[in-house]
Amino acid sequence: MVISMCKLLENIYKNNEVKGHEYVFVFACIWCIGGGYAEKDGKDFKKEISNWWKSEYKTVRFPSKGDVFDYYVDIENSTLEDWSKMSTTDVISTIDTSKSIPSYTIPTVNTISASFLLRQFV
């Protein structure tokens, strides 16, 4: 967990000029501590971490809509933005009907966030 957080911070700082250090640190903490949790036996652990984080950590305020995993840090503006704002590709114009359906990844909030985080670690 700590190594993952350090690696994520290292890659964010290496590739960007960061102004809002608190935002980046909170982003790394949230994803490296709680990003791997899921629902088990009817209990949504990701939601529990999100609720706990929103109630305990007040320096960086998250929007009331959604949970903490629904947002990324806009490095240039030091703000929290919805992952859907990273989707800049017009999906319909990039579809090649000669390819099979499983060869496509449709940009959703989950695939956008997973792709971003994977790029930071690879």
pLDDT tens-digit readout, 46-82: 899 999 999 998 888 998 888 999 999 988 888 999 9
The parent domain of residue 26 ranges over 2-121
CATH number at residue 11: 1.10.472.130
How far is the C-alpha of 80 from the C-alpha of 112, rounded, in Å? 15
Nearest to 20 by CA among 69, 75, 83, 85: 75
- Tens of pLDDT, residues 4-59: 889 899 988 888 888 889 999 999 999 998 888 888 898 989 899 999 999 998 88
How far is the C-alpha of 54 from the C-alpha of 70, rounded, in Å? 13
Number of structural domains the chain divides into: 1
